[in-house]
Amino acid sequence: MSDTLVNDLKVIVFQLKDEEYGIPVQQVQSIERMMHITRVPKVAKFVKGVMNLRGVVTPIIDLRRRFGIEPIEYSESTRIIIVGVGDMEVGLIVDAANDVIDIPEGSIEPPPEVVGSVEVEYLNGVAKVEKRLLILLNLEKVLNTEEMKELKVLEG
C-alpha cells in the first residue's frame, strides 16, 4: 500500500507579480473577492485596514507591500485569502488565487538565499511541480512581527 498521499502537501497557489506562491490549505479559511476595507490610522504601510467578514473584524494585509513589491491597481482577479495562524485571522491581498495542488514532499527544496523580493526567512521552501516553481510561504514568520502584534488589538 502506498503512503505517498500522507507525505503530499496540499497548498493553495496564488500569484504576486510574476511569481507563484503556496500556502498550506489547512491555514486557509476562505478566499474572497475584493470588498470594502476600512482604513485604520497609524498602522504599518502594508496593513490595508480591516473588513467585516461575516460579522468578524479581520485585519487585511497587502502582501505586495509586505514583501516590498510595487503596488498595482486591484483587478477582477485580485483576491483576499483569509488565513488562520495561531489565534489570529488575517486577510492577505494577492493578485490572483490560482488553484489547489498537491506537492509531493520530496519535491520541496530548502529556499535559495534570494527568491525575488521575498526575504528568505519568510519561506518554507520552493517546490518544482511540473513546469512550475512554487515559493512556499511560512505564514507564521510572515505574520509574526511587531506590526502584526499591533493588529491583534484591531481584532478586538
Domain boundaries of the chain, sorted by first residue: 4-155
Q: What pLDDT does 74 receive?
A: 95
Pick the CATH number of 4-155 from 3.65.10.10, 1.20.1070.10, 3.30.56.10, 2.40.50.180: 2.40.50.180
120-137: per-residue pLDDT in tens?
A: 788 889 998 888 889 999
Position 8 pLDDT exceeds 60: yes
Would you state the cell numbers that stand for residue 35, as one nine-digit string? 470588498
Distant-in-sequence, close-in-space partners of 30: CB < 8 Å, separation ≥ 6: 81, 82
**What single string gives the DSSP state of each residue in 34-90?**
----B--TTS-TTEEEEEEETTEEEEEEEHHHHTTPPP----TT-EEEEEEETTEEE
Each residue's pLDDT tens digit, 14-27: 999 999 999 999 99
* Overall average pLDDT of the 60-66 stretch: 93
pLDDT band at 85 (very low <50, low <70, confident <90, very high): confident
For residue 25, give the DSSP letter: G
Distance (Å, rounded) from C-alpha 88 to C-alpha 51?
14
Cell of 86: 495561531
As a residue count, the chain comes to 156
Classify strands 96-104 and 123-129 as parallel, antiparallel or unpaired: unpaired
Output the pTM of the full model: 0.87
